[in-house]
Amino acid sequence: MQKRRKFRLKGIQLFSGKGQADSFASSIIVMANSTLKKIITMYGASVLGILIGFLVSIFNSRVLGPERFGDFKFIETAARFIASLVSVGFFISITRLMAMNDDKARERRYVGLFTVIFAITSAVGILIYLGFSFLEPYFFDNELDQSIWRYFLIVMVIIGQLAMNEILKGMHKIYTLSLFGVLPAFLYLAVIYLVHEFITPVTIDWVLYGYYGFLMLVITVILVGLKPSFDIKKPLVRELFKENKYNGRPIYYGSLAGVATTHIAGFTISYFMDNTQVGFFMLANTVCSPLLVIPSVLGTIFFKKFVHLDFIPKKVVYFSLGITALALVVFYALIELAVITFYTEAYLPVSDISKLLILSFIFHGLGDLINRFLGAKGKGTLLRNAAFIVGFVNVLGYTILVSFYKIEGAIITKILASGLYFAVMLWYYYNFTKINKQ
């Protein structure tokens, strides 16, 4: 029998025997095929989600008209802003703990803990929204009144949507995550179209209750399918609080500065202009959003692998840059025709806004890819610091620039903030990889 020689490479034992070599090669091929399938699935779902999202925005904008569509976006902005305030980083912390976990029983306890935190944060968010609905008429001259309190439940649904995206990423349930990105909007569009055509004209109530009702239904089904265990012991809670202290909370503070402050645009545009302009600006964000998806999807798929990697693979970077460049060319070629064709000429200002705003989405998408890597490495403090810088630009821009330059001020602010975000992420990544090489 041929004697097998052993080799060691960075702590991994390999055998020169044919059986071991074949087994090792087969394992690599299986892993590569699995990753490729997940990439294709996630990108396919993202493309389908973008398509359905556009159909939803087209339908909503057409049936509501520019003014009521602006009111709809203002209410959404308020709810999303409040939802971004209340998690205190716990969902981010659970996501990372799940990414590092291989114990199925423990995973179910994490899901149980997630469910409890979801319930608590939802209650807090709803109370804040109800307070806002009482004060809103005193600050905004947009003909909305205190009746917007009726939509308080959408705060809970938005919290659930943001949190579910996080934990499915941590559990590496790419197929479920893909379905979650498509199914609620598909169900809403199918039902609301039939209602509008055959039962009654669709109003803002139908739009808000319909979309967020289906979203909550899907969240509930997925959560039940994850089989949460409520056998939650103190050590598990202490582990979560420890992770939250050093990683989740710093990222949350950063998110508060970098993400929550982006919602200021909806408030200041409404205050200095009107809700119609809010609708135009938010719809332009929707039109530009596909450019953000491309690198972010890669970051999501590789999040669990990033935990064990010292750098972002070059192929991931090149693929992200190539697809983004191609998408940008297509975007500029078709944007004006697409707006006129699908949204009607009443929304033509959206085209002009989008042609400039698209630059911010390119910067932000590439920055998000690096963000996912640094987040997987537990560099929450760095992410927080970067977001504080972005948040500072957002606050100044969306108040001062919007007050002087109106919608152009909002566009300039978003481009500056996203460009700075990418530059800071790139700098942090360069320093991180430089230290690791040493």
The two structure tokens encoding residue 62: 């057409």
For residues 318 and 104, give the distance between their C-alpha atoms in angstroms, rounded to a whole number.
35
Mapped onto helix, strand or coil, the DSSP state of residue 146 is helix
For residues 413 and 395, give the distance between their C-alpha atoms in angstroms, rounded to a whole number.
9
Bridge partner list, 13: 8
Q: Nearest-CA neighbor of 300 among 159, 168, 108?
A: 168
Per residue in 45-81, is it b (16+ CB within 10 Å) or e — as a string? bbeebbebbbebbbbbbbbbebebbbbbbbbbbbbbb
State the pLDDT at residue 139. Answer: 83
User: pTM (2 decimals)?
Assistant: 0.76
Contact 265, 281 (CB under 8 A): yes
Question: Can you say whether residue 170 is alpha, beta or left, with left for phi > 0 and alpha for psi between -120 and 50 degrees?
Answer: alpha
HSE of 66, CA atoms in CB hemisphere, 13 A: 15
For residues 174 and 180, give the distance between their C-alpha atoms in angstroms, rounded to a whole number.
10
Bridge partner list, 8: 13
In 10 A of CB 318, how many CB atoms? Answer: 10
Contact 125, 85 (CB under 8 A): yes
State the pLDDT at residue 351. Answer: 93
Tens-digit pLDDT string for the chain (438 aa): 444 444 343 433 444 455 554 554 454 444 455 666 766 776 677 778 878 988 999 999 999 999 999 999 999 999 999 998 887 788 888 888 888 888 888 889 999 999 999 999 999 999 999 999 888 888 887 777 667 889 999 999 999 999 998 888 888 787 888 889 899 999 999 999 999 999 999 999 999 999 999 999 999 999 999 999 998 889 999 999 998 888 888 878 877 777 788 889 999 999 999 899 999 999 999 888 877 777 777 776 777 678 778 888 888 888 888 888 888 899 999 999 999 998 988 999 999 999 999 999 999 988 888 888 888 888 877 887 888 888 899 999 999 999 999 999 999 999 999 999 999 999 999 988 887 776
State the pLDDT at residue 31. Answer: 46
State the pLDDT at residue 415. Answer: 95
State the pLDDT at residue 259. Answer: 76
Give residues with Cβ within 8 angstroms of 274, minimum separation 6: 70, 142
State the pLDDT at residue 6. Answer: 42
* DSSP conformational letter for 263: G
